[in-house]
Amino acid sequence: MRKTMTTSRTLSASFLLATALALASACSTETRAVYLGREEPAPSFTSPDAGDDGGGASGADDLTRYCPSSQCPAGHTTCPSSHFLCDVDLLTDVNNCGECGNKCPPRSSFGTFNCAEGRCVLGCLPGVALDCDGIPDNGCETNPFSDDNCAACGNKCAAGTRCIMFKTQEYSCGCKPGELDCGATPYFPCVDPAYDDKNCGACGNACPRDGGGTEEPPPHMYFGCFGGACGTLKCDGLFADCDGNTENGCETYLVDDENCGGCGASCGDMKCGLSEALVPTCHCPDGTTFCGGSMSQGSEVIKVGTCRDLSSDPLNCGGCGISCAPLGPNVAEDCVYGRCEPSCNAGWGDCNGNRYDGCETNLSSDPKNCGGCGIVCDGVAGQACIDGRCMVEPCDEPDAGEAPR
């Protein structure tokens, strides 16, 4: 009798332990699924009022059961060109836009077609071309640098003006207020006649730098345009009159550690040089390195270049001029702590570990690598992988979603 009770107690303890382990395992397992007709959040497996009804009822009859699904959700389908079940998104796929085989036209005439909401939509390159006739077959047919369509379709320049280009690569009919169109071509023709030495007060009125020979200008100075009139002493480029004394001219060289680009602009612990645009700049802040070359300015040798962060700059990674370039498809190369490191584009994975063939696996639709390498959907049930999640739908199988008894 005692032996029988001991055995029963042992069996009961074992059963309780196994049950606890099973529940703990079930709670810790991540469910990666897409639910038919919708995505996140994951569904509740009981109805909102399921549970204790006041009379001790368990609410087990209200359990919602889900099974692996091979059905495609709205917008997705399987086309003859498909590699996997439901891997075509008809709303965004330029090769199957709206329906299988409906391929959007290739890029042409400075325009690119995208698939938006199942329709091929033409997008023109900003500042380069316009689609003014609304006919997608001929692409972006209109030049925005024209008098009849200046910067926008139908923007016709008034008589006496023309469509011009600014240095900002913008277009406009005529110059800005206060400026004159003095160029032979419409490329950057606008000048300010109040200060332009070659067009002082009017187009073509160039100021003589020597003031007409009446007097010798002070060092590093010349006679130029000010207020629309010639004859005002001005500083040569990269020089300034920092002491306010015109007798010694523009005495301060602005590529100087204590006057870098302006009077009193000190570089502190840095050195003054020229940027790539030939503007005086302090080189280089802590954490950056000077990349560039040098030029001779009289007896001075001036650095010309820019400051780069070699720990994160993909064009200068670990050293000046070392560029990170991807080795395969679906890969981006980033500079991480001075080393080029590959990373997969969204929706792709390097599941074979070979960096030379890039990120070869489509994690969005591959049921054997659904959302990550090695995450397998139910192949026996033909479960589809949609946007990196295994597909499920409500089902009526009596044992679906229930723990075994």
Confidence of residue 29 (pLDDT cuts 50, 70, 90): very low
Model pLDDT, residue 295:
82
Burial class (CB in 10 A: 0-12, 13-18, 19+), 79: middle
Reference 317, options 353, 299, 342, 345; nearest CA is 342
Q: Give the range with max mean pLDDT: 52-61, 67-76, 88-97.
A: 88-97
The pLDDT tens digits of the residues spanning 307-335 come to: 999 999 999 999 999 999 888 899 999 99
Percent of the chain beyond pLDDT 70? 82
**What is the mean predicted confidence (pLDDT) over 223-236?**
94
CA distances from 291 to 130, 175, 308, 317 (A): 39, 38, 7, 11
CA distances from 117 to 89, 93, 95, 97, 106 (A): 10, 10, 14, 8, 18
Which residues have C-beta within 8 Å of that of residue 380, sequence separation ≥ 6? none
Burial class (CB in 10 A: 0-12, 13-18, 19+), 209: middle
Which residues have C-beta within 8 Å of that of residue 66, sequence separation ≥ 6? 33, 35, 43, 45, 392, 393, 394, 395, 400, 401
**What is the mean predicted confidence (pLDDT) over 344-358?**
90
27: pLDDT strictly greater than 50:
no
Number of neighbouring beta carbons within 10 Å of residue 67: 16
Domain definitions of the chain by residue range: 269-308
CA distances from 240 to 251, 369, 405 (A): 6, 66, 91
Model pLDDT, residue 34:
55
The answer to whether the beta carbons of residues 130 and 149 sit under 8 Å apart is: yes
Judged by average pLDDT, the poorest of 283-287, 300-304, 344-348 is 300-304
Beta strands in 149-228 (DSSP E): 163-165, 171-173, 180-181, 190-191, 221-226
Reference 261, options 238, 244, 277, 243; nearest CA is 238
The pLDDT tens digits of the residues spanning 115-126 come to: 999 999 888 988
Give the residues across from 290 on adjacent strands. 307
What letter does residue 4 receive in the DSSP assignment?
A: H
The pLDDT tens digits of the residues spanning 33-50 come to: 555 444 444 343 333 443
Dist CA 31 CA 200 (whole Å) = 75
- The first and second tokens of residue 24, run together, are 């703990």
